[in-house]
Amino acid sequence: MHVKKHIRKLWTMQRQRAFSPIRGCLCLLAGWFLVSLPALADTRFVSTNTFLPESTPARDIYYLALFALTVTGSVFVVVAALLFYATFKFRARKTDPDHEPAQVYGSTQVELAWTVIPIIIIVVLFLTTSRIIFAIQDAPQPKDDLKVTVVGHQFWWEFRYPEYGIVTANELHVPLSTDQHPDTTYLTLLSADVDHSFWVPELAGKTDLIPNHPNEMWMDPQKAGIYYGQCAQFCGVEHSKMLIRVYVDTPAQFQSWVQNQQKPAVDDPSVAAGKNIFMTEACVNCHTITGTQAKGTYGPDLTHLMSRDTIASGSVQNTPADLRAWIKDPATFKPGCHMPAMQLSDQQIDQVVAYLTTLH
């Protein structure tokens, strides 16, 4: 008797609460819109887009995503429609009797349907996804493709082209692939420290760079231009400034880029003072400049520093002013990065920057 009374009390309390499901949904939508507004307005976020594929693996993933979105979208529409219908049709009314509704046990047919249909949907999604994964992974590797070794470092990228004897950083140059001249780039992914992940959404899926476990991926970009990406695995404090820039060059552009990278570093006697500082301060231990005694590999290769548009893994423009500010104190741009502020005098910094800006 007592319990029944209690339940009845709870039931009437619930009915009195002024909660409207429709109002709740509208509030959620408005909240979501407000939260995402700054991101939508910031044009930098428009520069990567999984829905604009320009290379075969990215395109396969794009079609798979469309398929999965169609299936899950239809499920959402059906469920949401039923939910709205039920909340509206069976909403509380003033004329409702003041006691619990009749308690009914569920229907075996309905329960079977909503168990079996989702299982079928999941199996279909699983099979199509595995088919695409294997199609990308097992694609035959053409003999004349370009091979690049990518090494992830906290918090920058090293790119090695063993066939050309080139080492560079953060800005990957690859040739354009056309119907007449299909050109595939194969990346071997390594890590110097922790787990990183190479992700350029318009060109390919994301693949991790795991210490002591080489991974592979490939791309055949079909439109020239710059593509942006980023490390997609939290790898330490400056992970978010571990950006990637892929330059898809026409064959002529790519050849001239390769030729320039293969040249030894410019040795301009007018900046000998700056060069001397570089070679006598700790810079020499962490950076390589070919043709000099600088053979460090802890930081990016600086042999052709000025051939890059950015420094610090795509997070700072490569201008003399920013280069100067970077060398004075890298932490102003990337607090927590692994290059120390070297405590050079202003004059020494000017001289080092003058030297670095000759390295085309």
**Using CB under 5 A as the criterion, which residues of the chain lie in contact with Cu ion when the complex forms?**
196, 231, 235, 242
Q: Report phi then psi at 264, rounded to 5.
A: -70, 165
How far is the CA of 260 from the CAs of 27, 164, 166, 288, in angstroms?
Answer: 57, 11, 10, 16
Q: CA angle, 229 as apex, 228 and 235 as ends, to 5°?
A: 150
* Distance in Å, CB of 183 to Cu ion, minimum: 27
Q: Which is nearer to Cu ion, 235 or 311 (CB)?
A: 235
Least CB distance to Cu ion at residue 322 (A): 22
Phi-psi region of 140 (alpha: psi -120 to 50; beta: other; left: phi over 0): beta
At 200, the amino acid letter reads V
Looking from the CA of 36 toward its CB, the CA atoms found within 13 Å total 8
- Please give the residue ranges that form the binding site for ligand HEC (CB under 6 A): 155-156, 169-170, 238, 278, 281-283, 285-287, 298-300, 302, 305, 308, 311-313, 323, 327, 334, 337-340, 342, 344, 352, 356
Q: Which does 231 bind (CB under 5 to 8 A by kind): Cu ion, ligand HEC, none?
A: Cu ion
When CB distances are held under 5 to 8 angstroms depending on the partner's kind, the choice from ligand HEC, Cu ion, none that residue 287 binds is ligand HEC
Q: Which is nearer to ligand HEC, 219 or 283 (CB)?
A: 283
Selection from Cu ion, ligand HEC, none that 166 binds (CB < 5 to 8 A by kind) is: none
Residue closer to Cu ion, measured from CB, 231 or 311: 231
* CA proximity to 307, closest of 274, 340, 349, 259: 259
> Which CB sits closer to ligand HEC, 167 or 302?
302
Shorter beta-carbon distance to Cu ion: residue 168 or 184: 168
d(CA 64, CA 133): 10
CA angle, residues 129, 223, 130, in degrees to nearest 5: 10
Report, in Å, the least distance between residue 151 CB and ligand HEC.
12
Considering the complex, state which of residue 55 and residue 168 has its C-beta at the smaller distance from ligand HEC.
168
In the block, residue with structure tokens 């009390």: 9
- The alpha carbon dihedral of 82, 84, 89, 95 has a sign of positive
Give me the least distance between CB of 229 and Cu ion, in Å please.
Answer: 11
Residue 196 binding target from Cu ion, ligand HEC, none, CB below 5 to 8 Å by type: Cu ion
Smallest separation, CB 281 to ligand HEC (Å) = 5
Rounded to a whole number of angstroms, the minimum distance from the CB of residue 189 to Cu ion is 12
> Token match 């294997």: residue?
134
- For 118, list phi and psi in degrees, rounded to 5: -60, -35
Nearer to ligand HEC, 64 or 359 (CB): 359
Least distance in angstroms from the C-beta of 202 to ligand HEC: 23
